[in-house]
Amino acid sequence: MRTGMELADRYELAGLIGRGGMGEVWRATDRRLRRPVAVKILPLAAGADATEVARFRREAEIAAQLVHPGITTVFDVGEHHDGTQPLLFLVVTPPPREREGFSLCRLGFATGQPGP
């Protein structure tokens, strides 16, 4: 991933927020709605099958149903293919500037592990 990269002809990556065992979280812009977002990007392993993709999508659907001021809101989920490694991505509300690392890490978005 790199600054300026566009996912799904919609999300323009602006800067890396964090990196963990499962992937990376980027500050981005939703070009269609002209709003800031955070994008969690997970590279698909070479041997990944449809079950893994379906599980990721299902988890995103469940997370999108949660509404609470203490958690991020899920806006979108998708796949991106740019000729190299396929990627799964999850688009969520961006964290407040002063809490960006805290919010994403507490929710497991930066590390892939549940927060305390």
Segment 83-96 mean pLDDT: 84
**Mean pLDDT score of the chain:** 82
- The CATH fold assigned to 6-106 is Phosphorylase Kinase; domain 1 (3.30.200)
Render pLDDT for 32-55 as a digit per residue (tens, 0 to 9).
Answer: 999 999 999 988 876 677 888 888
Structure letter (DSSP) for residue 20:
-
Q: How confident is the model at residue 25 (pLDDT cuts 50, 70, 90)?
A: very high
Domain ranges, ordered by start, for the chain: 6-106
pTM to 2 decimal places: 0.76
CA neighbor of 42 nearest in space, from 32, 52, 27: 52
DSSP string, 77-99: EEEE--SSS-EEEEEEPPPPGGG
> Does the pLDDT of residue 78 top 80, yes or no?
yes
Q: How far is CA 84 from CA 12, 42, 43, 80, 81, in A?
A: 18, 13, 10, 10, 7
Q: In what order do the strands lie in the sheet with 74-80?
A: 6-7, 11-19, 24-30, 35-43, 87-92, 74-80
